[in-house]
A = this chain, B = another copy of it.
Amino acid sequence: MKISEDKSITHKSNYHHGDLRQSLLDATRLMIREGGVEAVSLRKLADRVGVSRTAAYHYFKDKNILLCTLAEEGFYLWQNKIENISLGDDYKNLLPAARYRAFIYWYLTYAMENSEYYDLMFGRAIWKQKTATDSLKKIAYEVFQKHVEMTKICQQEGILPIAEDSLRLAQVSWGTLHGLARLLIDGIYTEGNHLDDMCDCAANILMQNGKIK
């Protein structure tokens, strides 16, 4: 009795929330940040946004679709980041090698500062099986293509070995970035780490210690 009365009172004003869709996405991000992807519960999510259990189903067919949508957001954010960075004069005026090092730095920084996105973008849960949305696959593919192009340019600039196949080189370099990101995010074997030193080391290795020209 009392409970149902309370609820109706509470919800009456929320019947049209305004921007529930985005609110749900934002709240999900928060939940992931607090307790990891596994801690996301549609019901707690609804509670947090001040809406009833199944309200989210009007905007997202599935829990999975919700997470895929969020992952997409993550890819777009990253896409914007690298676009902004590469347009900046600070970045443009750097020598190729320094630019490559900066890219590594931004990649790892993005992964750490937006770990809730990063986990969705490359967490197994979404990629394995056929759970990934088509639009998610598309943007992810685009982002990787950009990385391949960048790799090619670096090869032509002489900071990456020209002998290697571009695609494979892109896979290896991206693998390195991804592996380091995971190490940093999960805190495995990385106690007392200095991000800068790790970037230096990774850049040195990938660029062959600058011994190629």
Contacts and interface: CB of A to CB of B under 8 A. Distances in A.
Contacts of A46: none
Interface string A36-62: 111000000000000000000000000
Q: How large is the interface on A (under 10, 10 to 19, 20 to 34, 35 or more residues)?
A: 35 or more
Contacts of A182: 122, 124, 175, 178-179, 182
A127 B205 contact: no
A129 to B, nearest CB: 7
Interface stretch (A3-11, A16-24, A82-90, A160-168): A160-168
B125 A188 contact: no
Given A122-B188, A161-B209, A201 B169 contact: yes
A176 interface: yes
A197 B163 CA distance: 13
A132 to B, nearest CB: 10
Interface in A183-213: 183, 185-190, 193, 197-198, 201-202, 204-206, 208-209, 211-212
Contact of A176 (B37, B125, B165, B176): B176
Contacts of A35: 129
A168 B211 contact: no
12 contacts: A119-B124, A122-B186, A124-B186, A163-B209, A165-B201, A171-B183, A172-B180, A175-B183, A176-B179, A177-B179, A178-B178, A208-B211
Given A144-B188, A164-B205, A175-B183, 19 more contacts: A35-B129, A119-B124, A141-B189, A164-B204, A165-B201, A168-B197, A168-B201, A171-B183, A171-B190, A174-B183, A175-B182, A176-B176, A176-B179, A179-B180, A179-B182, A205-B205, A205-B208, A208-B208, A211-B211
